[in-house]
Amino acid sequence: MQSESRINMIPQQLPAYQQQAEEVLAAFGSQLEVGLTTEEAQARLAQYGPNELQAEQPVPAWRKFLAQFQDVLVILLLIATAVSVGLWFYERDSALPYEGIVIFTIVVLNAFLGYFQEARAERAVAALRAMSATTAHVVRDGKRQEIPVALVVPGDIIVVEAGDTIPADARLLQVVALRTAEATLTGESQPTAKYIAPLQGEAGVADRRNMLFSGTAVTYGRGRAVVIATNMQTEIGKIAGLLQRTLSEETPLQLQLARTGKLLGIMVLVIVAIVVATILLVERVTEFHAIIDVLILGVALAVAAVPEGLPAIITAVLAIGVQRMAQRNAIVRKLPAVETLGSATVIASDKTGTLTKNEMTVRSIITASGRVDISGSGYALDGVLHQNNRPIASAPLQAEVTRTLRAAALANDATLQEQAGNSTIAGDPTEGALIVAARKAGLIESVLNERVVRIGELPFSPERKRMSVVVSDAVRMDRLLVCIKGAPDVLILRCSHELVGETVFPLTDERVAEIRASTEQLTGEALRTLGVAYRSLAPEAHEAGIEPDDAIEQDLVFLGLVGMIDPPRIEVQQAIQRARSAGIRTIMITGDHPKTASAIAVELGIQQQQRAISGTELEAMDNHQLNEVVRTSAVYARVNPEQKLRIVQALQRNGEIVAMTGDGVNDAPALKTADIGIAMGISGTDVSKEAADMVLTDDNFASIVAAVEQGRAIYANIQKFLRFLLSSNIGEVLTMFFGVVLADVIGLRAMGSDSTAVVLPLLAAQILWINLVTDGPPALALGLDPADTDVMVRPPRDQRLGVITNQMWAGIVLVAVNMAIGTLAVLDASLPGGLIASDNGSLPYARTMAFTTLIFFQLFNVFNARSDTYSAFEGLFQNRWLWAALILSLVLQLLVIYVPFLQVAFATVPLTMSDWLVVVGVSSSVLWLRELSKVLVRSINRMPPILRQIVE
């Protein structure tokens, strides 16, 4: 029967919510008490696939590797090298085509480096899916089992209860006071009551009360249901499918680097073309083999000069940033988002769970004899009851508070769980707060449950705004109580008496007015209020059996008011202040009450006065009015997802870079629209996570600010290696260009007078080696530099400025010219003739000296590149990876100079100690010159603004 059920589908013209529960169960070949067999579940898993949202298809490793050779310059270099090797096969003018072999080897090594950097980034991003793995309870083979959500299949019987996340779309079969929170899917803020009866006619998702939906949560009660849809066939899966087809805009960094890369590429190619043309004209090259050598040199110079490795290095640096951020409770799904967050000017945050703990806490209780406050925060039990910061001295007040908390704990479905000294709540946060308050008052939950037996209940609903339970006393069997909690304005109308001490008195109009005034007082303190009452039933009611109905919620005895709040996170106030110091404005966007939202905002320092813009006010504004409002307003309350999207768009129209938090499906458009969307890892849905750029594993605002700091540090590190790469690469180009132009002056042309070969300052293989040794490990190590101490006191950078500023360009040009002059001077001094007289010297020796000097110039330049302002000696030893990279580069260069077969490959000769003194002395000049320029920059920065503008 079950094998056939895999092809039985509910007719499209009659959806599951319109059919009887038994009919749906039969259509899927399942049974309520037995569920599917293990074999049938495995067969359906093979048919329908895992119960998870589809991810992008992975790219095969071989395609990733071949993608490293897609650069046009690399292709040209390989073609030219192949032609050179082909000529060697034809002419056989040397033992081996060493230069061609070396060039090919270096290109392949670069490809492997890029491949492994990208693979590392992908592994960091994969942490998101591992984080979101969950389990589900199903009935299989007649037994209740816990299985991974991915293994749930159509036809499974799922068992859900308060606190569970629903794993798939399902048709309800059994319910016991079941309510689910479906705001993540429908936008409905209040929990939805569920029942079994079929619906008549078409109904929207929000109205399908006999259905459960994947990604929503059970807030109350329990039930069983048969799964009718999994993975992308669920309602959330359909929305996720739409989002996957939505194209995301490129980040500011991507756009800036694209423009910068294109500009630099054009400049370098023009210069390289001039160098090649100059060589061909000055050297009067006519032989085909020589022409090929010159072309190889030109392409090699272009490959070395154009920072084609920049995307790979940026990817690696961002991936490292991802790992650092994961350690600070933030997982990044899209690597460029790290930088974007660092440029944010506004953080638009939700309140519940992000700025607050999402742990309701009872702060105050008001009864007939006065007010009692309760210390402590969240679900921790370390709090006490006090009156005006003193122990409760009034016996009547003590009795009233105890009775109030006892009734609230009985009219309650939450449970307190303690493990390793930590307390957590299973169930509704509001009910959990009442349990914790009762424990602080000395009322033990287990003792209460042993003393009373629940024999009936009337569940809470948005329409009723109250919950009642009927309990019998296990000690006094003749005692039957109704305990009720609910909205004070609703409850007070059903009360006829009030408890004063241990005595019940009639409830007068004056006391009703006072209770209402107390409610307003608590509300004004941003506390959510609940009323608590009870009623005794006649003993015969227990004997006859109780069927709870609305009639038992009359003639109640009012016990007291409970004021509670979701307390702010302790660390958030400091985080908001840090964000403000960094020039970032924090705004709160919440669906909560305006008074509560504004009070929390004042307590956290988001604003000075209690003022909130409501969703109703937003609805009445046009875009122009909203543009003006978002410039100054910091709190938005009772806001729906559409209004949240409008707020984000208005901020962006004002030129803000917006980071926005969200957790629901309906938040997905705003998360997608924001410059960086931040989803909640604990309370967020899969769809919100898919739409977001970053996921907070702890749902904590402080983690956002920590991520901002990391983002700024990463952007600064990107500027560091841009400063290093460009100054070094331009230095190479200038060295080659002026080495050819000034060949007569420096005595280089005389070395080729007896040969038909082209005489050049450096060989193509040497240039590519410099590119591999210095542009690789040291540049990557710069990306690991620790954050500057002042990174969170700088204002957000101006988005109109490029990633390379005018000040950076000045330093880059200064260093490049210094490199070219120093390298050519060493080349000249190593040759007979030229400006610097030398008695002896050979071309291989001179090239080795120039080759090594240029590498050492770039190694010293690493320290310069760490800042345009601060001295290279500040925090000199903070980055151990930088020193490791420099040592690696130095060792590799020593191997090229002293290992015989590498000497042949790179045309080098051994250097003496005096040679090394010359190399180090000349190349270190780039460090001392840059230190002098930084002293000048710091002096200018300390000038008054008017004088600074004149100087600049």
- Closest by CA to 704, choosing from 439, 362, 347, 198, is 347
- Closest by CA to 923, choosing from 826, 835, 780, is 826
* pLDDT number for residue 9: 45
- Closest by CA to 122, choosing from 59, 62, 65, 68, is 59
- Closest by CA to 210, choosing from 130, 221, 223, is 223
The DSSP secondary-structure symbol of 390 reads B
Tokens found for residue 130: 């591992």
The DSSP secondary structure of 78-135, one letter per residue, reads: HHHHHHHHHHHHHH--SSS-HHHHHHHHHHHHHHHHHHHHHHHHHHHHTHHHHHT--E
The sign one gets for the Cα dihedral 28, 33, 34, 35 is positive
- The helix (run of H) or strand (run of E) holding residue 266 is helix 252-282
Using a 10 angstrom Cβ sphere, with 0-12 exposed, 13-18 middle and 19 or more buried, the burial of residue 877 is: exposed
Task: Give the other-Cβ count within 10 Å of 441's Cβ.
Answer: 22
- Owner of token pair 């003193």: 390
Please give the Cα distance from 658 to 668 (Å, whole number): 15
Residue 883 exposure: Cα atoms within 13 Å on the Cβ side: 6
CA end-to-end distance (rounded Å), the chain: 85
The DSSP secondary-structure symbol of 565 reads E
Tokens found for residue 904: 């042949």
- Exposure string of 320-351, with b = 16+ CB inside 10 Å and e = fewer, is bbbebbbebbbbbbbbbbbbbbbbbbbbbbbb
User: What are the distances in angstroms from CA 229 to CA 18, 213, 872?
Assistant: 16, 9, 61
Please give the Cα distance from 86 to 83 (Å, whole number): 5
Please give the Cα distance from 635 to 611 (Å, whole number): 7
Compute the C-alpha angle 263/267/271, nearest 5°.
170
Please give the Cα distance from 461 to 454 (Å, whole number): 19
Please give the Cα distance from 661 to 678 (Å, whole number): 5
Please give the Cα distance from 752 to 662 (Å, whole number): 70
Please give the Cα distance from 146 to 136 (Å, whole number): 6
* pLDDT number for residue 219: 74
Please give the Cα distance from 83 to 501 (Å, whole number): 102
* pLDDT number for residue 947: 59
Please give the Cα distance from 192 to 178 (Å, whole number): 8
- The helix (run of H) or strand (run of E) holding residue 641 is helix 641-653
**Dihedral through CA 813, CA 816, CA 821, CA 825, nearest 10?**
170
- Closest by CA to 217, choosing from 186, 239, 240, 248, is 186
* pLDDT number for residue 261: 64
Considering 350, 693, 785, 828, which one is annotated as catalytic?
A: 350
Tokens found for residue 440: 């602080």
Please give the Cα distance from 619 to 598 (Å, whole number): 19
SS3 of 175, please?
A: strand
> Average pLDDT of each block of 10 consecutive residues along the chain (952 residues)?
43 75 89 90 91 68 70 58 57 52 64 62 44 71 87 92 83 87 66 86 84 83 90 78 48 61 70 74 67 68 61 63 75 70 86 79 93 88 88 91 93 79 77 90 74 79 81 71 92 94 93 94 86 84 57 90 88 90 91 82 87 89 92 88 87 91 73 85 66 80 85 83 85 83 77 55 80 76 79 78 80 92 92 75 88 93 85 84 90 92 87 93 93 82 64 52
Tokens found for residue 797: 């950078």
Going by DSSP bridges, is the β-strand pair 422-426/415-419 parallel, antiparallel, or unpaired?
Answer: antiparallel
Q: What is the pTM of this model?
A: 0.65
* pLDDT number for residue 248: 44
Active site residue 293: no
**Dihedral through CA 442, CA 447, CA 449, CA 453, nearest 10?**
-120
* pLDDT number for residue 514: 95
Q: Which residue type sits at 892?
A: L
